[in-house]
Structure 1
Amino acid sequence: MRKTYYRNDINITVRLLIVLCIALVFLVYVSVKTTGNIAAVFSPTKELPIYSVETPEKKIAISFDAAWGNEYTNDILDTLDKYKVKSTFFLVGFWADKYPEDVKEIAKRGHDVGNHSTTHPNMPQLSPEKMAEELNTTGQKIEELIGKKPTLFRPPFGDYNDNLIRTCRENGYYVIQWDVDSLDWKELGVQPVVDRVTRNVRNGSIVLFHNNAKYIKEYLPLVIERLQESGYEIVPISELIYKENFMMDNTGRQIQVK
């Protein structure tokens, strides 16, 4: 009788081990599909871009991704001038090719000019070599136009993996996401954008807009006025983030280490 119980215990243990092994293999498979890198699956820490910044000051940044069209770019720049706000524009390479004078004007008015890739691909699907090519091709274009190499990079679609963060770091870039998405691309109207942004910002927030969003001429002044009335100072991302002596928490919030 004891031998029977013993054999049953062994069988149960073996079955549990088999189930655990299958579960582990499945988790590894899903992680590899997500990160594109099996080494990253077993990495003790995951690389994260900067979503926001921990700061006691009421400072935030607003940013504009520019990939298609320039119909509203001058209106945006005029609005920013009116409210004495400096911002950050992330430019795709083919946009810079098509609108070089706009690139120069953005820089001339004192705004950050960031890199948003060359062809707007899904970056995690690329090899590190192709990632570097996407970065450096547009980086060189921007530098030729404004005389300054960009150091901020926003991944197309907000997609990233460990390889991308490391490749950006190796090429002198800080990877920038956002913690407040205006959802202006959904074209829901003016008030939904104003409400979404002003209700969700906090110290150190980074807000995402698009330079060619349908209602941007109407909602941008309202957003800025509400933020300034609430005591927020709007600064370029380059002035918001920490350049050294920092760590990232698990939400992508950058924390200065003293």
Structure 2
Amino acid sequence: MKQETVKRVKSYVVLALAAAVALAGSFKYVSKYVKVSSNVNGRELPIYSVETKEKKVALTFDAAWGNEDTQKILGILKKHDVHVTFFMTGGWVEKYPDDVKAVYEAGHDLGSHSENHKNMSQLSDEEKKQELLSVHKKVKELTGVDMNLFRAPYGDYDDAVILTARECGYYTIQWNVDSLDWKDYGVESILTTVLDNEQLGSGSVILCHNGAKYTADALDGLITGLEKKGYEIVPVSQLIYKDGYHMDVTGRQIKD
């Protein structure tokens, strides 16, 4: 009888432990979701910039093509002790895994730029999800990082893109200062376009591309110019609010 009671107690303990593990897992799963709404006047908006009293800006690089200058860019960032955010496509991650690791090991943000750099608004919700989850898995396997920052290819989004990204645990990040480096107008053009931009201010998100022809050559001057204006350059993860915020009609994130 005692033996039977002991077996029964053991069974209850096992079941209780299994339930606890399952419950913990479910909390972990739920906790990855971005819970704060980005809806403004019935429309979902990505984060274009951040309302902050601190004189900070985020410098970001989209990595979708090319890799000749990535190491040079990392070297310049290291020299200035500056950390930024790289938004990477799945194709780029697969083609340049060592550089993904180098970006991570240097302390920069890893962000998603989708798997195949398609116009996300033209995809089904399931296709949108796969575009996010596929590159997420690749980066996780390489670095152990669960990314939570997403930039839509071409800046193309609609309500469904942002809602799907949120469901997958992502904050959708746009920009309010475009370096236009992808137009290959030259170093001076990049510097002038950013440093004299009327939208540049505290909380700005600056768009660059690691594969653009003149970006690496302009980077040293760009960092120096921003710092001379009194800006601290930070990764997106250190600029945005993760909760307790709302958005204005320009996509500016404002702390509640």
Counterpart in 1 of 2:26? none
Aligned partner letter, 1:117:
S
Distance 1:44 1:148 in 2: 34
**Deviating 4+ runs (over 6 angstroms):** none
Aligned counterparts of 2:67 and 2:124: Cα–Cα separation in 1: 31
1:80-118 deviations in Å (ceiling 9; x for gaps)? 001110000000001100000000000000000100000
Q: Which residue of 2 aligns with 1:248?
A: 247
Say yes or no: does 1:207 pair with 2:185. Answer: no
**What secondary structure, in the 3-state scheme, does the structure 2 residue paired with 1:214 have?**
coil
TM-score normalized with structure 2 length: 0.83
Within-5 A mapping of 1:65-84: 65-84=62-81
How far is the alpha carbon of 1:205 from its aligned partner?
0.2
- 1:89 maps to a residue whose letter is F
Q: What's 1:101 paired with?
A: 98
Secondary structure at the residue paired with 1:90?
A: strand
Q: Following superposition of structure 1 onto structure 2, how do residues 177-256 of structure 1 map, counting pairs within 5 Å?
A: 177-200=174-197, 201-256=200-255
Aligned residues: 215
Deviation at 1:217, TM superposition (A): 2.4
The alignment's TM-score, normalised by the length of structure 1, stands at: 0.82
Cα deviation for residue 78 of structure 1 reads 0.3
Q: Distance in 1 between matches of 2:143 and 2:195?
A: 32
* TM-superposed deviation, 1:44: 5.0
| Alpha-carbon displacement from aligned partner over 1:65-87 (angstroms, at most 9, x marks no partner) | 00111000000000000111000
Q: Report the residue type matching 1:238 in the other structure.
A: S
Q: Which runs of 5+ in 1 are unaligned?
A: 1-42
Report the counterpart of residue 90 of structure 1 in structure 2: 87
Give SS of 1:212's match.
coil
Instruction: Flag the structure with larger Rg.
Output: 1
| SS class of match (1:69) | coil
Aligned to 2:170: 173
SS at match of 2:58: strand
In angstroms, what is the RMSD of aligned CA positions? 0.9
